[in-house]
Amino acid sequence: MTNDHKAILELTNSVLNGTAAKSDLATLSKLLRENPGLQDVYLSFLDTHAALAWMFRGAESQNTSHGVSSSGGSWVSRGNFVAAIPWFVGVLSLMVAVLAVMRPQIFGGRPLDVVQAVPVVSAAESEQVLAVLVNQAGAKFKDSNSPDGVKIGASDYELQSGVVHVRFLNGTDMVVAAPAKFSVVNDMNVRLDAGNIRAISPPQAKGFTVSTIDARYVDLGTEFGLRIDPETKSSDLLVFDGQVNVEEHQSGRVLSEVFEGGTSRLLGGVEQDAPTLSPEDFPSPSSIGFARWNEHRPAMMKSPGLIALFPFQEGENRKVLQNLVPNGAPNGIIHGARWASGRWLGKDALLFDRDADYVQLEIPGEHEEFTIATWLNLDRLDYQYSVIMNSDHADRGDVHFQFTRQGFPRGGVFVEGGFSDQWIGPRVELKEWTHLASVISMRTKKQSIYINGTQVRSVQYHGSETITPGSCRLGNWLPTGQDAWASRPLRGRIDELAIWNRALSHDEVQQLVEAGRPSLIWKGDGSD
């Protein structure tokens, strides 16, 4: 493999993964223009990625109704679908871009830079994919006005329930809340006949326009919310960031320029006194994640062997951490840790940032198998060890789950005879929401630790022991006695903890990750 060959593959992969800088795109364009022999290598690589992405799409289509899953069905398959979408979007966008570089005659006879090519979709291409569904919660489209699987083309759509996140090939994100009727004209123009949307446009999509019966709303590189009031039928605008020009349909005359924090109302094309609007009045990408998490929680509650599910939602008693599982482990008692924001807007978490912060838990019973799964966000690692959840002592049968100062998760069950282990994965990234799972089976005398669904540590126990967690502390370990490493406070936030009295499979751990992923662009590798 030549250096240029290797560079093509590395650059293409970074673009598909969403980590490429503008300089990377420029380098890729230059290599393709100057080395025609590499173009087949490039297209072959794209074909492979596209084929895999369509495999995901096909699997999803078999399990969905009208293109998007309703609130029923498997809470797992939708997660795999969401995980595959960024890949699919990247493939489509990049294939458009490379055609502009390698086949300039298609785009008017002149070479185009990769960055410039992405938003270009001509009228002749209106039957092609202009956008894709990248996330949803409880979404149901009308039969005759629904996407083709995840594909959005130039057509009319009617969302009857739920919320969807649409991503255009130019990078614009549009979140639509039901009930809504909208039409995609091309990748730069949408018509809104009913409903409530939020649009977030990157610089390359400047000029993205949403039209209503009253006017055209032209985005100048910003974020805004637009709704058709269900009672008055007026067009109501709130600009979150940047500028939106409100233009007359026929003449294109600018009726108003609305800036950050500004609002506008039009009724019959005539300006009216604008109502009081807030960001919470419009759907957001993060609200979809929270809604999806709430939607999937009932299915998770039915998971066999679940003895504790702590959702970390602040209740009337701020000192109690509620366990939702009936007849499971008792509620936790909060000591010092404070309520903070979690993975999404409206989702709570507990912040552990002082040496005496912890939650006291009691995990009763004797177990042959034991699984701990949690979502957390580490701020820093101050001590030799930082605790996720530890039994109060270090006796046979006790359970520990913690980090080393280097960010590697470790711990398990104390057994006579010791253990041997192997590190096979990366450490935890700071300042990122991360899913951790520890799966222990005394039947096989094995333990696996996972970060974001990927196994990072494998343990073989040389003895067997009944697992008896008993009295535990979340976010700390404060045992009695003279232990040089006794102080192990966590520095960060936890916003979900689940415990099973069985060993979850690798697939089940991955399903937990997909069901609770913070957002579409979350990759779980520290690159987002």
Average pLDDT, the chain: 82
Q: What is the pLDDT of residues 406-420, one digit of tens each?
A: 999 999 999 988 899
Q: What's the pTM? A: 0.68
Q: Where are the domains of the chain?
A: 1-118, 122-284, 303-516
What are the residue ranges of helices labelled H in 437-517?
Answer: 506-516
User: Tokens at residue 190, please?
Assistant: 């949408």
CA 157-162-165 angle, to 5 degrees, is 65
- Cα–Cα distance measured from residue 467 to residue 253, given in angstroms and rounded to the nearest whole number: 73
Element (H, E) at 32: helix 22-34
Q: What is the pLDDT of residues 474-499, one digit of tens each?
A: 999 976 555 555 789 999 999 999 99
Q: Are strands 492-500 and 400-404 parallel, antiparallel or unpaired?
A: unpaired
What are the residue ranges of helices labelled H in 244-381?
Answer: 285-301
- Long-range contacts of residues 300-303, Cβ cutoff 8 Å, at least 24 apart: 300/75, 300/498, 300/512, 300/515, 301/325, 303/500
- Cα–Cα distance measured from residue 177 to residue 67, given in angstroms and rounded to the nearest whole number: 16
- Cα–Cα distance measured from residue 168 to residue 118, given in angstroms and rounded to the nearest whole number: 10
DSSP state, 205?
A: G
Number of C-alpha atoms within 13 angstroms, CB side, residue 349?
21
The number of beta carbons lying within 10 Å of the beta carbon of residue 416 is 10
The answer to whether 479 touches 393, Cβ cutoff 8 Å, is yes
Q: What is the pLDDT of residues 87-105, one digit of tens each?
A: 454 555 555 444 444 444 3
Q: With CA atoms as reference, report the closest residue to 284 among 181, 200, 175, 162.
A: 175
Is the bond into 202 cis (omega within 30 degrees of 0)?
A: no
CATH among 3.40.30.10, 3.40.50.1000, 2.60.120.200, 3.20.20.120 for 303-516: 2.60.120.200
Q: Print pLDDT tens along the chain (528 aa).
A: 466 766 776 677 666 555 666 677 778 777 776 776 666 566 555 544 443 343 333 433 333 334 443 333 333 333 444 444 444 545 555 554 444 444 443 333 333 233 322 333 344 444 588 998 888 888 999 988 889 888 899 999 999 999 999 999 899 999 999 999 999 999 999 999 999 999 999 999 999 999 999 999 999 988 999 999 888 899 999 999 999 999 999 899 999 999 999 999 999 989 999 889 999 899 998 888 888 898 889 999 999 999 999 999 999 999 999 999 999 999 999 999 999 999 998 899 999 999 999 999 999 999 999 999 999 999 999 999 999 999 999 899 999 999 999 999 999 999 988 899 898 888 999 999 999 999 999 999 999 999 999 999 999 999 999 999 999 999 999 765 555 557 899 999 999 999 999 999 999 999 999 899 887 567 776 555
CATH class of residue range 122-284: mainly beta
The number of beta carbons lying within 10 Å of the beta carbon of residue 44 is 9
Q: What is the pLDDT of residues 255-313, one digit of tens each?
A: 999 999 999 999 998 999 988 999 989 999 888 888 889 888 999 999 999 999 999 99
Helices vs. strands in the chain: H and E counts, helices first: 7, 29
- Cα–Cα distance measured from residue 10 to residue 30, given in angstroms and rounded to the nearest whole number: 15
Q: What is the pLDDT of residue 149?
A: 81
Same CATH topology for 122-284 and 303-516? Answer: yes
Q: What is the pLDDT of residue 286?
A: 80
- Cα–Cα distance measured from residue 468 to residue 480, given in angstroms and rounded to the nearest whole number: 19
The residues pairing with 132 across neighbouring beta strands, listed in sequence order, are: 151, 167
